[in-house]
């Protein structure tokens, strides 16, 4: 699973980091520090919740498709 | 507070009759009597975007979708209520510098030039470091009222706490607390003053702070004023005018807002003993409760000016017309939140826009969230079950801030 973030559109609500500071790193100003995050196994649920928490709706989850 | 309706102005030709709804955002009697009940009522009756003939005539954006789009389209929905070149002309005619609420009144890209330096100071990390001292202050205020069995929550807790936090952050002398509280009260006393009165109020704020500003320029300490002096704004060192601008926006935005959020939240708790019980039994839920209270009782109405002729939500809007982002309605919009009128701790979608959306997202949101949560935690921890005083029902004022004037509580000490 991957998280993609439209980083320039971040306005610093920091709600994603309130769900998981580990998964969603912020810069010193409280804006998202990265635009792509590989979700470690077991953190998928947190990733989805973090994406939903964004008032700007700029966090998109890409589910893994190739699963057998 | 009794308010008189402003006179209705004529509908401009480009506004269709179907888009007109008569609502006075300062004085509508039902709104001032019980603001959020009227917001719910309005959502059922008025169009999602409408034009009201009151207060000179202006657009009102109610629906979550409309506000979300408008808040992010800063070219069409501009924050430069007065264009910057006009501001400069006005400054030249004034006997002294008129402090500007930067960065609130500037659009991107210039916006970031003024906001950037403040982001770090008000970022989640910096605010987190303040938690302990905010908790101590809140605890002291609540302990002081506990033996009385009654209080006006607004004057006993909601007003003094943010003032004390503000003094601490800015490094202003706590010994002059009473001066600052008087300033806040003067500032709040007349929500619709004439422009020159507003300017005089800003000068009073600056006059109260100025000696400390001068002092920190020469003797920097570990506080925000010293930090602001050390900034470069657009490659130029900070000037006294810059400092006046910053201090005024921090003062006005920091004190006149969060206290009202506390009032709305504590009123809801006082009306819902079962919720108090649930949160006392499980204080870990107070964080979620804080978010849901912000959604249920969103309380600011940021103004915008139409920056260019446009068609928005099927309506023709002309450059120079005013539009209000009616955030309290956005967060109660049934299209965005199921059973929006319900306070629901377990609500799946709590993603409200109480702090607005887009680049002007409330700079103080992180501080406000911490202050709100701590106030709820300390009130629930230190007081037994509290309820509204039936002899003194709460009173409100409405406008760009939907505020609580008085909130009388009772408990068994």
List chain A residues with CB under 8 Å of B123. 12, 14, 26, 28-30
Round to whole Å and give the CA distance between B265 and B404: 10
Residues recorded for chain A? 68
Question: How high is the pLDDT of residue B309?
Answer: 98
Half-sphere exposure (Cβ direction) of B372: Cα atoms closer than 13 Å: 31
Round to whole Å and give the CA distance between A58 and B10: 41
pLDDT (average), residues A42-64: 95
List chain B residues with CB under 8 Å of A12. 119, 123, 361
Per-residue pLDDT of chain B (413 residues; tens, 9 = 90+): 456 888 999 999 999 999 999 999 999 999 999 999 999 999 999 999 999 999 999 999 999 999 999 999 999 999 998 888 888 888 888 889 988 888 888 899 889 888 988 898 899 999 999 999 999 999 999 999 999 999 999 999 999 999 889 888 888 888 888 888 788 777 766 655 577 777 888 898 899 899 999 999 999 998 889 988 988 877 888 899 999 998 888 887 777 789 999 999 999 999 999 999 999 999 999 999 999 999 999 999 999 999 999 999 999 999 999 999 999 999 999 999 999 999 999 998 889 999 999 999 999 999 999 999 999 999 999 999 999 999 999 999 999 999 999 999 999 98
Phi-psi region of B69 (alpha: psi -120 to 50; beta: other; left: phi over 0): alpha
3-class state of residue B394 by DSSP: coil
Please say whether the beta carbons of B25 and B55 come within 8 A. Answer: yes
- Domain residue spans in chain B? 17-410
3-class state of residue B176 by DSSP: helix
Instruction: Please answer yes or no on whether A11 and B125 come within 8 Å at the CB atom.
Output: no
Q: Measuring CA to CA, which residue among B201, B226, B231, B205 is closest to residue B216?
A: B226
Q: What share of chain A is helix, strand, coil (3-state, %, to 5)?
A: 25, 20, 55
Round to whole Å and give the CA distance between B161 and B131: 13
Residue A57 counted as domain residue: yes
Residue A67 counted as domain residue: no
Phi and psi at B324, nearest 5°, equal -105, 130
Q: Measuring CA to CA, which residue among B1, B45, B15, B12 is closest to residue B23?
A: B45
Round to whole Å and give the CA distance between B229 and A62: 45
Q: Is the pLDDT of residue A55 over 70?
A: yes
With 0-12 CB in 10 A as exposed, 13-18 as middle and 19+ as buried, what is B272? Answer: middle
Question: Rounded to a whole number, what is the distance in Å from the CA of B357 to chain A's nearest CA?
Answer: 6
Round to whole Å and give the CA distance between B369 and B131: 11
- Look up the domain containing A50 and give its range: 2-62
For B124, B180, B253, B332, the CA distances from B37, given in Å and listed in that order, are 33, 33, 25, 10
Residue A6 counted as domain residue: yes
Give the total number of structural domains in chain A.
1
Round to whole Å and give the CA distance between B130 and B118: 16
Question: How high is the pLDDT of residue B1?
Answer: 47
List chain B residues with CB under 8 Å of A49. none
Option in A11, A17, A28 nearest B361 (CB): A11
Q: What is the largest CA-CA distance in chain A?
A: 42
Residue A18 counted as domain residue: yes
Question: Rounded to a whole number, what is the distance in Å from the CA of A67 to chain B's nearest CA?
Answer: 28
Q: What is the CATH number of the domain that holds A21?
A: 3.30.70.20
Question: How high is the pLDDT of residue B346?
Answer: 93
Measured N-to-C along each axis, helices B258-271 and B160-170 cross at an angle, to the nearest 10 degrees, of 150
Residue A7 counted as domain residue: yes
User: What dotted CATH number matches B17-410?
Assistant: 1.10.630.10
Q: How many CB atoms lie within 10 A of CB B199?
A: 16
**CB of A13 less than 8 A from some CB of B:** yes
Question: How high is the pLDDT of residue B2?
Answer: 54
Instruction: Please answer yes or no on whether B351 and A14 come within 8 Å at the CB atom.
Output: no
Residue A12 counted as domain residue: yes
pLDDT (average), residues A12-20: 96
Report chain B residues touching chain A, CB-CB < 8 A. 72, 116, 119-120, 122-125, 349-353, 355, 357-359, 361, 365-366
């Amino acid at each position: 699973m991957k998280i993609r973030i439209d980083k320039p559109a971040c306005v610093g609500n920091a709600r994603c980091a309130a769900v998981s500071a580990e998964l969603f790193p912020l810069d010193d100003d409280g804006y998202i520090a990265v635009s792509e995050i590989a979700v470690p196994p077991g953190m998928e649920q947190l990733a989805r919740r973090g994406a939903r928490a964004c008032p700007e709706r700029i966090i998109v989850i890409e589910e893994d498709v190739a699963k057998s | 507070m009794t308010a008189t309706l402003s006179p209705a102005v004529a509908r401009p030709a480009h506004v269709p009759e179907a888009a007109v709804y008569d609502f006075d955002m300062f004085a509508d009697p039902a709104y001032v009597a019980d603001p959020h009940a009227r917001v719910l009522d309005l959502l059922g009756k008025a169009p999602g975007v409408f034009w009201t003939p009151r207060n000179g005539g202006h657009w009102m954006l109610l629906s979550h979708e409309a506000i979300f789009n408008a808040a992010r389209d800063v070219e069409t929905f501009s924050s430069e209520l007065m264009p910057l070149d006009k501001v400069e002309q006005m400054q030249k005619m004034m006997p002294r510098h008129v402090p500007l609420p930067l960065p609130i009144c500037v659009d991107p890209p210039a916006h970031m030039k003024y906001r950037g330096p403040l982001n770090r100071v008000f970022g989640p990390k910096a605010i987190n470091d303040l938690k302990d001292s905010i908790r101590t202050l809140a605890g002291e205020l609540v302990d002081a009222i506990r033996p009385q069995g009654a209080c006006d929550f607004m004057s006993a807790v909601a007003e003094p706490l943010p003032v004390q936090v503000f003094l601490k952050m800015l490094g202003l002398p706590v010994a002059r607390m009473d001066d600052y509280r008087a300033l806040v009260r003067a500032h709040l006393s007349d929500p619709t003053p004439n422009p020159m009165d507003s300017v005089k109020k800003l000068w009073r704020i600056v006059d109260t702070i100025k000696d400390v500003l001068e002092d920190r320029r020469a003797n920097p300490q570990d506080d925000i004023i010293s930090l602001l002096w050390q900034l470069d704004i657009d490659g130029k060192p900070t000037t006294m005018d810059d400092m006046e601008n910053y201090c005024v926006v921090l003062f006005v935005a920091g004190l006149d807002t969060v206290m009202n959020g506390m009032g709305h939240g504590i009123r809801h708790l006082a009306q819902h003993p079962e919720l108090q019980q649930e949160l006392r039994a499980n204080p870990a839920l107070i964080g979620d409760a804080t978010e849901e209270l912000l959604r249920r009782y969103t309380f600011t109405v940021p103004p915008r000016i139409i920056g260019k002729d446009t068609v928005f939500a099927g309506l023709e809007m002309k450059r120079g017309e005013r539009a209000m982002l009616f955030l309290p309605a956005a967060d109660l919009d049934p299209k965005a939140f199921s059973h929006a009128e319900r306070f629901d701790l377990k609500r799946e979608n709590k993603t409200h826009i109480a702090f607005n959306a887009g680049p002007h997202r409330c700079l103080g949101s992180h501080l406000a969230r911490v202050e709100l949560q701590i106030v709820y935690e300390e009130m629930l921890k230190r007081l037994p079950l509290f309820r509204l005083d039936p002899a003194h029902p709460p009173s409100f004022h409405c406008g760009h801030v939907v505020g609580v004037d008085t909130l009388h509580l009772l408990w068994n000490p």
